[in-house]
Structure 1
Amino acid sequence: MEKKKKAKPKLTPIVKSFKGSFKIPENFEFKEDLRKSRSEKTSLDE
């Protein structure tokens, strides 16, 4: 029982870090898309 209790807290940080690392690339791509759309808008304005 003690071993199971110790394994659970160890697993949660891994899942959290995995989700966090998975979210970063998504945000990065989203920011890149925003930059592209912004650069396209500025080039159209010019």
Structure 2
Amino acid sequence: MWLQIASVAGVASLATFCGMHSLTLSNYCLKTHLTLRNATGW
């Protein structure tokens, strides 16, 4: 019972962390892309 609750909580927190991390990463990539485009005039 407790193990099941712990694993569900672990999976949920891991999914939240990965979601936040990928969102941050995509924002960073977008900003980098826009900066490069502005710098090079693409």
Distance 2:31 2:13 in 1: 27
Q: Partner residue of 2:10?
A: 12
Aligned residue pairs total 41
TM-score (norm 1): 0.76
Listed as ranges, the gaps of 5+ residues in structure 2 are none
Q: Which runs of 4+ in 1 moved over 6 A?
A: none
What's the secondary structure of 1:38's corresponding residue?
A: helix
Cα displacement string for residues 1-46 of structure 1 (whole angstroms, at most 9, x for unaligned residues): xx21221111101110110111111111100110111011112xxx
Q: How much identity, in percent, do the aligned residues show?
A: 2
Q: Following superposition of structure 1 onto structure 2, how do residues 1-46 of structure 1 map, counting pairs within 5 Å?
A: 3-43=1-41
Listed as ranges, the gaps of 5+ residues in structure 1 are none
One-letter amino acid of the structure 2 residue matched with residue 35 of structure 1: H
